[in-house]
A and B are shown apart, each in its own frame.
Chain A
Amino acid sequence: MSGSRTTYRKRLLQARRHPLQTLLSVVILAVIAWIIWSTGSWLILGADWSVITENLPLFAVGAYPENERWRPLLWLALLCLITAVTLLRPLIASKWRISGLALSWGWLAMLPIGLVLLAGGAGLQAVTSRNWGGLTLTLMLTGFSGLLALPLGILLALGRRSKLALPRHLCRVYIDGLRAVPLIAVLFFGQLLLPLFLPVEIEINRVLRAVLAFALFAAAYVAEDVRGGLQAIPSTQLEAAAALGLGPWQIQRLVLLPQALRVAVPALTNQAIGLLQNTSLMAILGLVELLGISRSLLANPAYIGRHLETYIWLAGLYWLVCTAMALMARQLERQGPSSATSAIPS
Chain B
Amino acid sequence: MKRQRSRWLELLLVVVVLTLVGILVNNLAVNLIRTGLGLSFEWLWQPAGFALSEHTLPYQPGDSTAWALLVSWLNSLRVIACSIVFATVLGVGAGAARRSLNPLLRQLAGLYVGLIRQIPLLLQLLFWYFVAFLGLPSEPLAPIGALIRLSNQGVSILGLTLSVEFSAVLVGLSVFTGAAIAEVVRGGLDSVPRGQWEAFRSLGIGEALGLRRVVLPQALPAILPALSSQYLNLAKNSTLAIAVGYADLYAVSDTTITQTGRAIEGFLILLLSFLALNLLINGGMQLLNRIVVHPAQRT
Residues in A lying within 8 Å of B, measured CB to CB? 8-9, 11-12, 14-16, 18, 21, 24-25, 28-29, 32, 163-167, 170, 180-185, 188-189, 192-193, 195-200, 273, 277-278, 280-281, 283-284, 291, 298, 307-308, 311, 314-315, 318-319, 322-323
Contacts and interface: CB of A to CB of B under 8 A. Distances in A.
B interface, by DSSP: helix, strand, loop or mixed? Answer: helix
Q: Shortest 6 CB-CB distances between A and B: which pairs?
A: A8-B202, A277-B120, A182-B236, A182-B239, A280-B120, A307-B130
B30 A15 contact: no
A281 B270 contact: no
Interface stretch (B7-15, B45-53, B84-92, B212-220): B7-15
A181 B236 CA distance: 7
Contact of A181 (B118, B254, B271): B271
Contacts of B147: none
A42 to B, nearest CB: 11
Interface of B: 6, 9-10, 13-14, 17, 24, 27-28, 30-32, 34, 101-102, 104-105, 108, 115, 118-123, 126-127, 130-131, 135, 198, 201-204, 207, 232, 236-237, 239-240, 242-243, 250, 254, 257, 263-264, 267, 270-271, 274-275, 278
A272 to B, nearest CB: 13
A323 B118 CA distance: 8
A26 to B, nearest CB: 9
Nearest to A22: B102
Nearest to A16: B101
6 contacts: A8-B203, A180-B278, A278-B120, A311-B123, A311-B127, A318-B119
B13 A166 contact: yes
B119 A197 contact: no
Contacts of A165: 10
Given A184-B240, A184-B242, A196 B263 contact: yes
Given A11-B204, A184-B250, A319-B119, A198 B104 contact: no
B13 A196 contact: no
Contacts of A277: 119-121
Contacts of B13: 164, 166-167, 170
Interface centre among B120, B239, B267, B278 (most CB of A within 10 A): B120
Contacts, number: 138
A155 B118 CA distance: 29
Contact of A318 (B27, B31, B123, B254): B123
A192 B257 CA distance: 10
Contact of A166 (B14, B120, B278): B14
Given A183-B236, A196-B264, A199-B27, A291 B122 contact: yes
A284 B271 contact: no
A196 B31 contact: yes
B32 A196 contact: yes
A185 B271 contact: yes
Given A182-B239, A182-B250, A189 B207 contact: no
B165 to A, nearest CB: 15
Contact of B27 (A180, A182, A198, A273): A198
Interface centre among B17, B28, B104 (most CB of A within 10 A): B104
Contacts of B202: 8-9, 11-12
